[in-house]
Chains A and B, each alone.
Chain A
Amino acid sequence: MTVQELPGAAAYRPTPPPAWKPLTDPAPLLPDPEPYRVLGTDAAADVDPELLLRLYGELVRGRRYNTQATALTKQGRLAVYPSSTGQEACEIAAALVLEERDWLFPSYRDTLAAVARGLDPVEALTLLRGDRHTGYDPREHRIAPLCTPLATQLPHAVGLAHAARLKGDDVVALAMVGDGGTSEGDFHEALNFAAVWRAPVVFLVQNNGFAISVPLAKQTAAPSLAHKAVGYGMPGRLVDGNDAAAVHQVLGEAVARARRGGGPTLVEAVTYRMEAHTNADDATRYRVDSEVEAWRAHDPIRLLERELTGRGLLDEDGIGTVREAAERMAAGLREQMNADPVLDPMDLFAHVYEEQTEQLREQAARLRVELDAEHGESGAEEGR
């Protein structure tokens, strides 16, 4: 017997499902198709000249910091350094857009953002020098430890921003991640939590073209990384990551939106990593010189310099003054990094738990004996 033959089958009508409507209108969340630009456009005239000059000074200082730190790797003073040369506009804007009470959540490549936020240049390098994981008190500077695992600091930023809002504090968290990091699960979970909780957090994706050697096209099939925002229910913004004024403006709007309770924003800054992934990487294996050269013409310092000189806000003397200041910073960094850090091996056991376990006390005592024996031997040699 078929269904049609069942008695009463003709009278059957399926119940229509309840009406469905989307939770959020996706249209306002979508990024513009072109990265937002300020420098070299009419919009530049509206930017405060003092801000442009400040951005310029920090960019030049940041570039010098990158070259100095890279040089220190060659001298064996740094274990490794992931240069952000070419990406300074993102780093600096991220630091300058935040108020003192706000929090920055940097990745391992964002040393420059931490320094621009006021962290001591040497303290910012302890992770990469290898003497201490984090050379500063995160609460003092409101800078989370530089994060090596990819995207895992993003949910921390969400949790912190959420906690601040629960406490009634007017605090925004800005979290930085690379294009490769957007493929990690923590990226997705962080964005989802942030949007559901309407947490005052801003995600800055520095799309620098490569995750070590893997280009963006092999990283994602999305129209842009900023487009990912719509899936979580937050706005996505696309910005020229080499245009310091544009990054500052877009991040500034996102921070202001978060602060007034408008929830999170995903900002994709399109930029380029001019150097290799780190000093240990060989970028010639995965990219061609012509591509690098094309981006060199779009250098963030040159873009800003052209704007400032074109408008008569900066001249050769001014450029010289900025460069001298950067040289002094580099000389100071060199000098401090050439001094060997004084480390106490007993510190290894000091900060595992609030109170050492009996097992750790025993192990610490064993190390103490070894150290005393070492010192005894070297003392005997010196005496000879």
Chain B
Amino acid sequence: MTTVATMAGERAGTAKPATMAQALGRALRDSMAEDPTVHVLGEDVGTLGGVFRVTDGLAKEFGDDRCTDTPLAEAGILGAAVGMAMYGLRPVVEMQFDAFAYPAFEQLISHVAKMRNRTRGAMPLPITVRVPYGGGIGGVEHHSDSSEAYYMATPGLHVVMPATVEDAYGLLRESIASDDPVVFLEPKRLYWSKAAWSPDAPAAVEPIGRAVVRRSGRSATLITYGPSLPVCMEAAEAATAEGWDLEVVDLRSLVPFDDETVAASVRRTGRAVVVHESSGFGGPGGEIAARVTERCFHHLEAPVLRVAGFDIPYPPPMQERHHLPGVDRVLDAVARLQWEADN
């Protein structure tokens, strides 16, 4: 399995530091340059370049018809994208903020997710819905929701979450190229995270649907994705002081779900913690824990634990640090994995 660490090592020397936002913008630009059917649309994506500047420069380079400032109406934006895709275009829609996507839910659930199925394969919809998502940037309410559970509960959608600069570029390119609709969740608090990355020679990444082992270990597996990956990597480093050698699996997509990589890791380590910042109840962690238990029951030394956000509406910015799972909460869970000793 290729890891980002090895890929970065192979390309050392050519790469310069780039942010995730820059890599995403570059992915949009390269996709538009290669394929004239790729169109970007959304509120503020044109002249302003997006509120996070991800679409910066696209309208100037490709014109207003390819990168379009739309009226402020998410159902209209996504609904229009459906029609555009029906006519052979490949729309990339920006929802600006996670909670702003909710007016478009009916379009997403009733049409985007189902059109291929409704038409028995005659009319697939190659739409990418970019959703800047998750907390940790001090946003006021409706700007920090973790909405992945809603999307992953809808058959017909791919749900993709990059956690590294490499993946931001590679997964967005693949999402745009996919003939299936993709909900592409961009962790807002990683927009400004940097990595050595060369836009002119981007490294190959694992395709959508494959999880990647970001750190090898023997004591337990941390299963995570998106904004919680850096938290888990930091926790894994800190855990070495306690004698724990943690493996970290980055899911990269919830749909498709890579049972194989996850189960293989847990069979090696015998212990697992699922870490995400969306609420635990009804959240992805429950599904993942169940899948791991079904596949690895005889290998498990302890129950699969979940470290998740609390089951509360996303808190005000001055309180969000209490809600978001941090390194200490992950380490607490790791400590609880010593099941036999404590129980």
A residues with a Cβ closer than 8 A to B are: 132-134, 137-140, 144-145, 149, 152, 154-164, 166-167, 173, 185-186, 189-190, 192-193, 196, 347, 350-354, 357-359
Contact = CB atoms under 8 A, between A and B. Distances in A.
B255 A357 contact: yes
Contacts of B115: 145
Given A186-B75, A353-B156, A159 B80 contact: yes
A163 B76 contact: no
Interface of B: 39, 65, 70-71, 73, 75-76, 78-89, 91, 103, 106-107, 110-111, 114-124, 155-156, 158, 178-180, 209, 255-257, 259-260
A185 B106 CA distance: 11
Contacts of A186: 75-76, 79, 106-107
Contacts of B84: 159-160, 162-163
A159 B116 contact: no
Contact of B117 (A158, A173, A351, A358): A351
Nearest to B88: A163
B256 A358 contact: yes
13 contacts: A133-B118, A158-B76, A159-B81, A159-B85, A162-B80, A166-B39, A167-B88, A186-B79, A189-B75, A192-B76, A352-B116, A352-B156, A353-B180
Contacts of B118: 133-134, 145
B17 to A, nearest CB: 36
Nearest to A135: B120
Nearest to B257: A359
B86 A352 contact: no
Contacts of A145: 115, 118-119, 123
Given A149-B106, A357-B256, A359-B259, A155 B116 contact: no
Of B39, B81, B83, most buried by chain A (CB within 10 Å of CB) is B83
A155 B79 contact: yes
A351 B124 CA distance: 9
Contacts of A354: 116, 124, 178-180
B75 A133 contact: no
A155 B74 CA distance: 11
A357 B257 contact: yes
A152 B110 contact: yes
Of A137, A163, A173, most buried by chain B (CB within 10 Å of CB) is A163
B115 to A, nearest CB: 8
A157 B111 CA distance: 13
Contact of A357 (B65, B106, B178, B209): B209
B256 A193 contact: no
Nearest to B76: A189
A317 to B, nearest CB: 43
